[in-house]
Amino acid sequence: MYNCELFSVQKNSADVQMLSESIDNIAHAIYKSDIRVLFKTDIDATEKAFTKVLKTSDKSGDEIDYNIFVNALDTTDSSSFKSLFYNFIKSAEASLPKSEENSALTPKIKISTIKDLGNGYNGYCFKIFSKHYVVLPLASLTGVEVEALVTDAVNKAQNIFKQNEESCPDGIAYIERPALPQVKKKEGFFMSFIPHKGDSKNNVIRKIVVLLAIIAFIVSAAYLINEFAIKPYLNSQITSEIHDIAYNTTTDSGDDTTPETQNWEALKKLNKEIVAWITLKGTKIDYPVLEHKGDNAYSQYYLNHTYKKSYSSYGSVFVDYRSTDSVKSKNVILHGHNIRDGSMFNALMGYGDLKGNLNFYKKHPIIEFNTPEANGQYKIISVFKTSTYYDHDDGKFFNYMQGSFLSDAEFMNYVYNVRIRSLINCPVMVNEDDQLLTLSTCSYEFTGFRTVVVARKLRDGEKATVNTEIATVNSAAVFPACYYQRYGGSKPEILTFKKAYSKGLINWYDGAGNLEGSEELTETVKSNPTEDPSNPGEVGGGGLINYYEVKFVNHDGSEYYTLSVKEGDSVTPPGGTPTLPKDDYYDYTFTGWLTDGLDLNNVHYSMTIYPNFTATLKPPKTQ
């Protein structure tokens, strides 16, 4: 099975919308050809955008085998293909290895035409080692429905790749290289790579190709250095800075081994939105917890901002907006990125992948969660894997992101649901009077999966110890339906807390037992439609839910306000008044946002929206 990233080229809004509406049907259709769509990405129809995305198309945690560009071409000849891919292909060819058998042969990428896609329009495909590229024309120009166009083109491309396998196994053809002109004199290093007067045409081309290769190497090296050296270093620096602020190294008793509590006065001066501190001893989880009051389903501020409020892909650990009573909520839900360098919530993966890791759990059964009011310790009661995709669970989606409950019965039914999913049978009792702490991070066992760790607060007078020796791996842990579709087996029966308790199936409850109210999980009910969606792409239905970036910018193109909008939702322009600096002759007045041709009531593609200003001529200055 090949993993695929499907690119929606933003060339024609009608074609973009048609692709969005058909994305799930397309994914299902090409899945039959052993191609699984993992990502759908919007891309501008410019050479610069293509070159950038071609160099950075792999997503962390998933190896991409196929890159399919839909609605990219608008000419019957190859000119539109060349305008988008010329520089990338030339750069790639310059870095290809020479033939070991014959040094006189030149490596070239084998580009094949995908013929007869409709109305005289063709597509193109090529391969570079394990990467396959398929480029398609605008569906509206071919006269073919986009689903049929993509399916037909992908099947034809696969046949082409198979035909080329023997002669060009890595997508590379070796051709005879013309003899280089005889060198009359030695050139210095600089002149060896810079075209100059007197060079032959072939030598100019050679130097340009070498220059492009050097530039490509520098850009790629800079990207790798930034991702794997600079970003981790900067994140480590800001983490170290706040540790210095938060911690004192000794106690008043003179015991250097016992740290004092966090310095909340200093932390609040740094950022009033720091509401707690979380620690998992023996791991890198030792971070401030932030909460942004403006968060909602489409915008979580600290998902990509540090405690200094500067942008960072590492983000911060933050409280989910559904925990409406902040750190006093019945279930305090925290989010943190799974960063490959081991920072943020990456350590949660130590509890297991699709099977519980008892050794890690035994070393880390307790989470420390301190607030300005009090220090707290929480005993882990569940470690489970779940999906954020409705169709991964055959219409029985469990929404673990529930911060409050309408009754004790609902709360205990929620606890029952997280415990039957746990990879580990944690020997910790729970009842309706307990408070929960839920840690959530991305994981990559399936697309859209999450690793979730749930713990309950230490009770008054209770010791911070767990008899981990009696913990066991849960061989009957409940997974989403997609797990059983891939690995076989059948999903265990899911009851409710009251039914399971009455049957003697629960040995971890120590409450009064007289639970009042409905057991219905309100957030889970909201997440599941009352009947099967008729359209696979419908929101809440059986497929990908797309989000698009809508960016409002200042007069100079800098960011004014950006949000992520779910497909089909509306956008309200931000408040405030963008300004355009005055000059010697005119005053400028903001008159609104330029939205002509944009449907803000039904978002189906990414947008960049600019401000509109009227200019008023200044009166002449009096002498």
- Beta partners for residue 565, in sequence order: 548
Handedness of CA 353, 356, 358, 362 (dihedral sign): positive
Of 33, 111, 106, 105, the residue nearest 65 (C-alpha): 33
Four-CA torsion 528, 297, 485, 445, nearest 10 degrees: -160
* Helices first, then strands: H and E counts in the chain: 14, 23
Return d(Cα 46, Cα 11) in angstroms, integer.
9
Return d(Cα 209, Cα 216) in angstroms, integer.
10
Return d(Cα 332, Cα 328) in angstroms, integer.
7
4, 168, 426, 442: the catalytic one is 442
Do residues 276 and 542 touch, judged by C-beta distance below 8 A? no
Cβ-based burial of 419 (10 A; exposed 0-12, middle 13-18, buried ≥19): buried
Cβ-based burial of 416 (10 A; exposed 0-12, middle 13-18, buried ≥19): buried
Long-range Cβ pairs for the range 265-268 (8 Å, 24+)? 267/242, 268/372
Q: Which residues contact 167 (CB under 8 A, 6 or more apart)?
A: 173
Cβ-based burial of 572 (10 A; exposed 0-12, middle 13-18, buried ≥19): exposed
Q: Which amino acid is at 69?
A: F
In angstroms and rounded to an integer, the radius of gyration of the C-alpha atoms of the chain is 29
Return d(Cα 488, Cα 496) in angstroms, integer.
25
Pairing relationship of beta strands 2-10 and 424-425 according to DSSP bridges: unpaired
Of 435, 296, 301, the residue nearest 371 (C-alpha): 435
| 374's tokens | 């009090």
Return d(Cα 590, Cα 325) in angstroms, integer.
39
Examine the residue annotation and report whether 426 is marked as an active-site residue of this protein.
no
- Active-site amino acid positions: 442
